[in-house]
Amino acid sequence: MDIILSKEPVDFLDSELLITGFFQDEKPLRGTAGWIDWRLYGRLSRFLIEKRLTGGWEERILIPSEGRVGARLILLIGLGSLKDYSYLFVREIVSHLLDLIHPLKAHSLTFSLPYGEEYGVACDKLTAVVLESIADHLDQHPSYRPWIEPLTLLFGEGKERFSEILFGVQAALPVLKDRFPVRMLTPSEPKKSMI
């Protein structure tokens, strides 16, 4: 598995599938879901107004990005009530997501689940939990190995969160390395010209 860390915002990352979530009791949409809604000219807000989306637990919608974000497709997953969100909850939702997207056989995934003080979930720990959850799910479903091992995972929440994501990946690497091969790729710093 290749884990690519970027200093770019999530909507700039080039992948087959961008995965994010939203809560049934958080309106208007915030975080990545809110940003995607803005990029799609309010389409998600219209779905909420029309009750075609509610944010209920495991509710999902797969939509084309129409070139408005780097990913070809966007998968929004309902996270239920904000008060239920936790690291344990993230483990459960990642397991569910892997079962959901396995038939798509996407080769590159961008993960961007809610994080921050208001959610009680830190960006670094969230990144580690997502990666550890993938490894745990693979232990339970060895038939996923041909899909998971060559998979490319992208993480990027902008320059201000880069070090947190890096720390989360580094924390998860010892757990991952004994289960399947992992490469971590980070952006290189531009060389300073000598004057």
Domain boundaries, the chain: 2-185
| Mean pLDDT calculated for residue range 180-184 | 90
| Mean pLDDT calculated for residue range 9-25 | 95
177 confidence band (pLDDT: 50, 70, 90):
confident
**What is the model's pLDDT at position 188?**
67
Residue 9, both tokens? 């915002």
Residue 150, both tokens? 């060559």
Q: Are 36 and 94 in contact (CB under 8 A)?
A: no
| pLDDT of 179 strictly over 60 | yes
pLDDT tens readout for residues 101-118: 999 989 999 999 999 999
Nearest CA to 134 out of 153, 121, 155 is that of 153
Q: How far is the C-alpha of 42 from the C-alpha of 34, rounded, in Å?
A: 9
CATH 3.20.20.140 fits 2-185, yes or no: no
- Ramachandran category for residue 66: left, alpha or beta (phi over 0 → left; psi -120 to 50 → alpha): left
Residue 7, both tokens? 């200093």
**pTM of the entire structure?**
0.91
| pLDDT of 69 strictly over 90 | yes
147 strand-pairing partners:
none
**What is the model's pLDDT at position 58?**
84
